[in-house]
Structure 1
């Protein structure tokens, strides 16, 4: 007789069931039940591993066909286990890959390799900030890169990972010194203020202030202040989305004028515990050196310069040519001062896993970079990140918690040695004496290593925390709130010890000085939101309403200490005999907003998206603090029309357009108020105050009107996918200084200029799947942006202080220069066009030729190859532009300064036809003036277009026999090759006197188990 056991027996319910069964039981019924039970298929455990041909795929859904309630998900190792019958059919599905069905046929182990499906990519969710939308149904312009692209680059700044990969996004590196920054422009320059063009950065839903850290007084080695974005570890980023048009950015209102960069960090996933470790070692070097004069060429130039100037005999101070310095000596100062190899070490690890309800990810990293300069200088960064996601059993309550903490320590020489490397004479003295001390060569030169006696040191501590709580009140209604907090603290010191001076001067420690800069910035944000979704037949409705409350407080102070009793005490400000405050300020910023979105979707074909925002900012005066912004976007998915939906050629087609108004309050705090500063004068023990800014209650918002139209089309099952877009943006009501007459005692008053700036352009992206087989895949991505920037209007420009900077109808990023007309064969001097026809060359009348420094077009071409377990990716970045050439880096030819070899073609006697004028030591006034004008003419500007192998990555998954372990080796490179006709230091680089970006090559190992 069969025995039955019941969970928690004794229940009256089960007694009734047993009693009823015993009353109705008969032998015939028992035999029938037994036959039915024997006929049921027996359940067995099916297991296996799912890969993409290269690595395991976690998160793949495995279900049994026809049994909707049965299924599982692959873990981090791509492994799964599922109970099924021998004749069941398994269905393997994963976003971005083709669905696979596999009949069990009595097997217990089934391994699956999924193939990418570009058509599925249209269903991927795109982060639009306050909401997400399917790629196929977005009405706005959003560019995206994922961890798949980011983690293959040996970079420490997130902006470096974006270079060349997004249409409409131009990024240039400002220095090759570790910890330096980047300039980013999303669809051009909108503001006449250089610091008014930064985009809004959102990290895991938290606005992150990208205002420069500190005032810059204590960071001379960097062209500007340290980049705050160094606090984000690229390895911990899951995706970066850039919002560009009005439809995408208007929901951010006053902060979306220059675009929005959404950074999402990696999250935990369901599955068994997985540990991943990475270690890499790399080297960095200057991409290339300039061709400079050797010693005989240099000495011949100098001697000719003295002869041209009629100076004989040679003066005592002409140490390089009069025999004081060894005339046979040669030093390649670029190699000596910039030719070291930077060593880069990166260590990182993460642990992740979780159940269906709770997932976690904890990661940490450490990076250290030395420099190409002589000496033991380095940049170190340590980072920790934690993410915990939770979902209740009924799936109504969800929470996301993310926190990241970064510590940076940057120790650099006080000055960048780039200037010295290009200026020192090739026969300048040796750096060291025989005893190892600095060589001052009898006080005949300033040893370039003397600046290494002082150090620039910066310590930065950065915290970003975010929590999102949501509750599904009903099927269609959700309430959610976002909570964020950021904290950034920075301490900088720049030391100028007396040991940097020639000992012959008898300078003691009392001449030592120390600059100290401290900065602290804290902010919090709360954003409650409501979301309602409903389907009315063919009409889909998605409504979002929310509010935003933000507060930011900042403190900044710069101190100067002078006169120390000993150089050993120089890093202690309290030990200075004279202390002064260079800058001291506190800032407070309050921001509040209401925002909303209504999305209408008819039958998946016709989509209308309405967004709006009402903003309030403390940065404006009474009556001007609130403003409204909004946009409308629409899309028509014409490929879903009946006449096209079965097309074998066109697999996807969409036309979208948008128009709206966004704004900007990037002007700094208290700009509309009367402010006062210290006079620095002590009168009767009291330091006086003086007015520094005038009150302007009419100071209001800057506005940006954006228009866009685009078409997206996929062919042959989206194996060829094209996006082409046109945009036109106009920024007006410019936040800038209104010029004032000098009699007022002020140069300007903060106001809204009635100036209008226009940006328009074309963006094209092309994605192709060239080859797709089981063992070999090849995909390509191309993006090109053609952009134009123009100052449309500027009332009374010619009578303002901006007249020498801007011109109506010309771009903002221009230089007004002299028009070079060649070298006069009779006089040997540079000549220039008399553009105003007054018979003489003047600054105001003839320095009027406009040269545009904006790129004419730019883009990137990326390719990805996979053969079995071998993966190769590379990216070529290209830019068509003009830039200052080598002339910008050098003094006039003939002076005590190194020169490029191009100056060898110089005028020497009447009748000579040459590209360069006569050499001069500076004593010839006419020649010196002509040389100065030459450096400010179009002759100093040339084509700086380039094609650069920006990034390359080669990886191989080792064929280990260990079931739960993966091992990958990789080689990565950055800035490896550059093809250009540019004669300067680096075509990308625009800051003369600073170290250009480095070439980096790195090898590493990744282990996962």
Structure 2
């Protein structure tokens, strides 16, 4: 046994001896290496490290291959002794590691880029301050330029569709330059124009109020969108602030959320040129399945027979032989079935030195329409930014500006509705000699309306400067200065050539509608920031003020009686002119705000914000209001009881509560105002009262509560966020109806109605695979919002009694209760709610149709393999909507093909009534009740391949400074839905649907 023990001991002693010998050799080798290293030519290397938001402290700076390192100070400054042949390695958690060869330089300005795999370490923009993702106490959704560059869109809201929890975005129309709707956590206000969020571009508020006049364009559901002035290619990131903790610092402007848009900035010292160009081709996403000529004529013949006609009347050109009954035209293909062509070119140059960096970019975009005719949308923009730091790093200047010029020339009428109702055997569009065919005045040629034009010319300037000075390392004074200028000129022409020449109209009957809008705004925001660290505690304090002034001038004119249609665009050439509206409004706003943030041990965080607002939109004594919020977070994953946990890598519980406000009511609503009567008495224009004085006119308020849980598992390879919110908006600013004897239809005032929004939001991010050459990341978000009217004093006796119901959503429609079809008569029947023997709109609209989506979201994937990157996004919505009901089947107009399933004789079970040409009032009346009944509400849910992008980095030689990236993209490519009444995204099938886009392009950097 002793020998055995001794034999065991010998190898142990031998191992120890060998280890000591190797260690001694390594120490000697290191000593020789160090001496050799120090003998080389060394120099002091200095510089700063920053990210997109400013200096980055605590960055590790190491000489590659050695143990020599240093750490950047609180200002991002570093100093290290190294040789010219050394490589410096810059690393910091949450950022991609960067390596720099020293060479002949002794000073560096290093910019680190956030690493998308370190989600909770990303720094996000919260408006007046920035915060790490893991330390935020509020609800903020974010997308970056990486998400935006995969989408060939022109409106900034389009880039956000399906990518943010709680943010619902709907495209109004597929027409070039069309607008989008945005709802952040539901609808808060009873006023349609009171639900817009606040837009901030580089710290400057951007007014989203609709510009233009309904007089100039009535073909689309919305007017020109001001947000088209923001070029998506110039955007670095978009943050959406949703809860009270995030929005209360914006006070009265944060009730409906805040959209923060940060534009791209210059980085680095190397001069870099970049060119990005692409071409897209677009077609309508979905067409309706309509009747062909045989089906249509059979319907019309049976309709007249049902109405007792033995011969077709003279006006029934489609069936009485006037029109060719063997002719068939697919009018959807003819009128909206064209191909839109989009060309986009963007070029930029950036560079600078260690103290100053700049970026200058320009973009030009043209877009045609799917409708016939020479119509197009063009947009050109210039973006410039500059950053400068003083040598002592105390003074910093940031300047950014953007100028956009748009011209949108479109037909005055959306042809989508016409294309779906025109008889399939209607005449040819042109005669044999190429002129418009009016077929002996038997129809209205749809191309006639294309003679009229809607032209919008919009020029927008945004400028922002931020000056800051650090009096102490912990104390910074900053001033934000901003200016915006918008000029909008819209016109609609109605030349006499739009109409049938048989009418005998001349240029003296032509008309021009003109809308001029100019809006200028400036803002000044001085701020003081203080940061104090005491042991494990960190305090951040912010105080500041806002002073804003906005002036809007409008003039709506009408001109007629032109000597020639060639002069129709010139208002001075009209013999008769009139001014429908001419005014100038001034909006003044001032506020003082503060924030205190306390962080204990990087684990317990409290954030308190407050703001006192003053708005000129309210009367004396009601102009000021206080808003505020408190948010708290507990990062429980850093607690001692989870120290050795290998599953949960991050865990945070946060909650917030606060009050925000709303002053989106327009200017001078509390005053008694007068407008021109439009009349003339003895050569003098008269005035008439247009609004009553209301001194009690005050703020809307929105109380918001949220609780959320954020968790990361397996080193954050799976990151899950779940949140519940409850918002209540009260003191609704609406028009209270007045008796006709007062001479005014309504009085704008605060109504005691309260609207509640509650919901759940879930986001999930998974790193499915991450290797050297291959990675796969998935992002999923889903939101479910419930809207409810919980109070409305005097609702039963108000004019809103048929619009709202307490306990129901404000996004409802009251409809008839459909009982079914009487199989003996074939006529629809509806419930007589009050039992008076007559079904009427005033008494029997008793059923509730809630059109609020049950849930919506997106499923996004990013897959990379070496130089290839594939991104695709599926957007999904669970919702109901009204079907498409243009007119009673049998009338003069095409129908859906399934209308052939109709009642013909007693006992038939069919979805549609007997045909009528319009003479059977019982059938017609029942049909329109049906279109406004619960039977007309159908499933409009859909899953859409919203976006797909494939990019490839060409493997060019390493010595070549040129980088080339090829890409193909698609937008709205596939839609899976049971909704057969058009595009399910649109609220009404009569408008042009969104377009399906195919895109190819190239990016060059050198």
Verify same fold: TM over 0.5: yes
Question: Matched residue of 2:156: which SS?
Answer: coil
Aligned counterpart, 1:51: none
Q: Is the 8 A contact 1:126 1:132 kept in 2?
A: yes
Change in CA separation of 1:102 and 1:926 when aligned onto 2, cut-off 3 Å: closer
Q: What are the within-5 Å matches in structure 2 for residues 170-569 of structure 1?
A: 170-569=168-567
Aligned counterpart, 2:62: 63
Report Cα offsets for 1:904-926 as digits up to 9, x if no partner: 11111222111000111111111
Aligned counterpart, 1:641: 639
Question: Matched residue of 1:271: which SS?
Answer: coil
2:265 and 2:617 map into 1 onto residues whose CA distance is 36
Q: After alignment, is 58-67 or 501-510 more displaced? A: 58-67
Alignment of 1:768 with 2:784, yes or no, is no
Aligned counterpart, 2:879: 881
Q: Which runs of 5 or more structure 2 residues have no equivalent in the other structure? A: 1-32, 46-55, 74-79, 103-111
Change in CA separation of 1:676 and 1:116 when aligned onto 2, cut-off 3 Å: closer
Question: Matched residue of 1:304: which SS?
Answer: helix
Report Cα offsets for 1:684-707 as digits up to 9, x if no partner: 112222111100011000000000
Q: Is the 8 A contact 2:60 2:69 kept in 1?
A: no
Q: What's the CA shift for 1:271?
A: 2.6
Aligned counterpart, 2:954: 958
Q: What's the CA shift for 1:101?
A: 9.8
Q: Is the 8 A contact 1:955 1:971 kept in 2?
A: yes
Q: What's the CA shift for 1:553?
A: 0.1
Aligned counterpart, 2:973: 976
Question: Matched residue of 1:122: which SS?
Answer: helix
Q: Is the 8 A contact 1:561 1:579 kept in 2?
A: yes
Residue 168 of structure 1: which of 166, 169, 177 is its match? Answer: 166
Q: Is the 8 A contact 2:61 2:70 kept in 1?
A: no
Q: What are the within-5 Å matches in structure 2 for residues 928-967 of structure 1?
A: 928-961=924-957, 962-967=959-964
Alignment of 1:738 with 2:741, yes or no, is no
2:705 and 2:420 map into 1 onto residues whose CA distance is 47
Q: Which runs of 5 or more structure 1 residues have no equivalent in the other structure? A: 1-34, 48-57, 73-80, 105-113
Q: Is the 8 A contact 1:63 1:71 kept in 2?
A: no
Q: After alignment, is 316-325 or 920-929 more displaced? A: 920-929
Q: Is the 8 A contact 2:814 2:846 kept in 1?
A: yes
Q: What's the CA shift for 1:547?
A: 0.2
Aligned counterpart, 1:628: 626
Q: What's the CA shift for 1:222?
A: 2.8
Q: Is the 8 A contact 1:223 1:991 kept in 2?
A: no
Q: Is the 8 A contact 2:983 2:989 kept in 1?
A: no
Q: Is the 8 A contact 1:532 1:542 kept in 2?
A: yes
Alignment of 1:608 with 2:606, yes or no, is yes
Q: What's the CA shift for 1:675?
A: 1.1
Change in CA separation of 1:95 and 1:553 when aligned onto 2, cut-off 3 Å: farther
Residue 995 of structure 1: which of 968, 977, 992 is its match? Answer: 992
Q: Is the 8 A contact 1:118 1:718 kept in 2?
A: no
Q: What's the CA shift for 1:766?
A: 0.2
Change in CA separation of 1:410 and 1:36 when aligned onto 2, cut-off 3 Å: closer
Report Cα offsets for 1:253-302 as digits up to 9, x if no partner: 00000000000000010130000001111100000211000001000000
1:117 and 1:270 map into 2 onto residues whose CA distance is 18
2:716 and 2:483 map into 1 onto residues whose CA distance is 42
Question: Matched residue of 2:626: which SS?
Answer: strand
Q: Is the 8 A contact 2:828 2:927 kept in 1?
A: yes
Report Cα offsets for 1:929-982 as digits up to 9, x if no partner: 111211211222211000000000000011112521100100011100000000
Q: Is the 8 A contact 1:118 1:717 kept in 2?
A: no
Report Cα offsets for 1:695-749 as digits up to 9, x if no partner: 0011000000000000000001000000000000000000111122222122211
Q: Is the 8 A contact 1:791 1:812 kept in 2?
A: yes
Q: Is the 8 A contact 1:816 1:848 kept in 2?
A: yes
Q: What's the CA shift for 1:83?
A: 5.3
1:117 and 1:716 map into 2 onto residues whose CA distance is 18
Change in CA separation of 1:85 and 1:499 when aligned onto 2, cut-off 3 Å: closer
Q: What's the CA shift for 1:94?
A: 5.4
Q: Is the 8 A contact 1:557 1:585 kept in 2?
A: yes
Report Cα offsets for 1:842-894 as digits up to 9, x if no partner: 1122112110111100000000000000000000000000112122xx11111
2:802 and 2:510 map into 1 onto residues whose CA distance is 40
Question: Matched residue of 2:807: which SS?
Answer: coil
Aligned counterpart, 1:22: none
Question: Matched residue of 2:298: which SS?
Answer: helix
Aligned counterpart, 2:3: none
1:866 and 1:94 map into 2 onto residues whose CA distance is 24
Change in CA separation of 1:322 and 1:968 when aligned onto 2, cut-off 3 Å: same
Aligned counterpart, 1:910: 906
Q: Is the 8 A contact 2:717 2:768 kept in 1?
A: yes
Report Cα offsets for 1:731-779 as digits up to 9, x if no partner: 0000111122222122211110000000000000000000000010000
Q: Is the 8 A contact 1:71 1:82 kept in 2?
A: no
Question: Matched residue of 2:562: which SS?
Answer: coil
Q: Is the 8 A contact 1:62 1:92 kept in 2?
A: yes
**TM-score where L is the length of structure 1:** 0.91
Q: Is the 8 A contact 2:408 2:456 kept in 1?
A: yes
2:425 and 2:285 map into 1 onto residues whose CA distance is 25
2:719 and 2:515 map into 1 onto residues whose CA distance is 51
Aligned counterpart, 1:21: none
Aligned counterpart, 1:800: 798
Q: What's the CA shift for 1:36?
A: 11
**TM-score where L is the length of structure 2:** 0.91
Aligned counterpart, 1:125: 123
Report Cα offsets for 1:43-85 as digits up to 9, x if no partner: 599x9xxxxxxxxxx999863265456999xxxxxxxx99548
